[in-house]
Amino acid sequence: MEKHPPSRARLWLVLGPLIVLVIAAQIGDAFAPTLAVEHPLSLITLNARNRNLILVTNSLDAASFYTVGFLRLLASDPLFFILGYWYGDAGVKWVEKRSSSFGNLLRTWEWMFQKAAWPLVAIAPNNFICLFAGAAGMTPAVFLTLNVVGTVVRLYLIRVVGAAFEAPLDSILNFIRDYRLPLTVISITLVGITVIADRRSGKGELEALTHVADELGVEEDPVDDEPDVEDDAQETHE
């Protein structure tokens, strides 16, 4: 399939929302102990990790859980799919270069995707899998269908697990409630250390997204260098 690398302006229409989602996820991680017991819906709005979804599922009504969980889980998937479609193998190599600290894991994901693309998009549509799907030329209709169905099934299973283990989850939430302030301080500290380390190493997700345009050689948007006909005519008349 022919790839169509975007202009810088079009690229930032994708990168901008992704950067916002990454920052939101970091905020959710930092304040997770407090949000889990006081604002569970806000927690999964910021970061719908499986552990967060399982932890707060019994604190939310079904409509809120499914609606917010579904929208948050799907928010970044089409964007990474678009990046993969635009850049193909170059985009995959860029991810491998930027993620050298877990390059072996990425190569494993790539190998698994080659063997079972459709099940992976449905079951484990992480950022890498969505990027691989776009790079491999999976059609948008197939990607979205698998992604949507898989996400709904995942949320349903999490809901079932939450109901089955309600007592243990309540015990965990009670512990977090009793120690939420020190736990929040610890989580903020850990997230801060991670962000600083990623910034210094240049290997973090946020760092990668902010530099993708330069590293993939995206050209600046064209500038109209043609002479103004009216100005030329006026100069000639004078």
pLDDT tens across the length of the chain (238 residues): 445 667 778 888 888 999 999 999 999 999 999 999 999 999 999 999 999 999 999 999 999 999 999 999 999 999 999 988 888 877 777 766 665 555 556 667 677 777 888 888 888 888 888 888 888 889 999 999 999 999 999 999 999 999 999 999 999 999 999 999 999 999 999 999 988 887 777 666 776 777 666 666 555 544 444 445 445 545 444 4
Is residue 65, in this structure, part of any structural domain at all? yes
Q: What is the pLDDT of residue 222?
A: 47
Length of the chain: 238
Is residue 27, in this structure, part of any structural domain at all? yes
Is residue 73, in this structure, part of any structural domain at all? yes
- Domain enclosing residue 115, as ranges: 8-215
Distance CA 137, CA 143 (A): 10
Contact 133, 143 (CB under 8 A): yes
Contact 23, 170 (CB under 8 A): no
Is residue 195, in this structure, part of any structural domain at all? yes
Is residue 205, in this structure, part of any structural domain at all? yes
Is residue 231, in this structure, part of any structural domain at all? no
| Nearest of 124, 90, 88, 122 to residue 108 by alpha carbon | 124
Q: What is the pLDDT of residue 43?
A: 97
Domains contained in the chain, number: 1
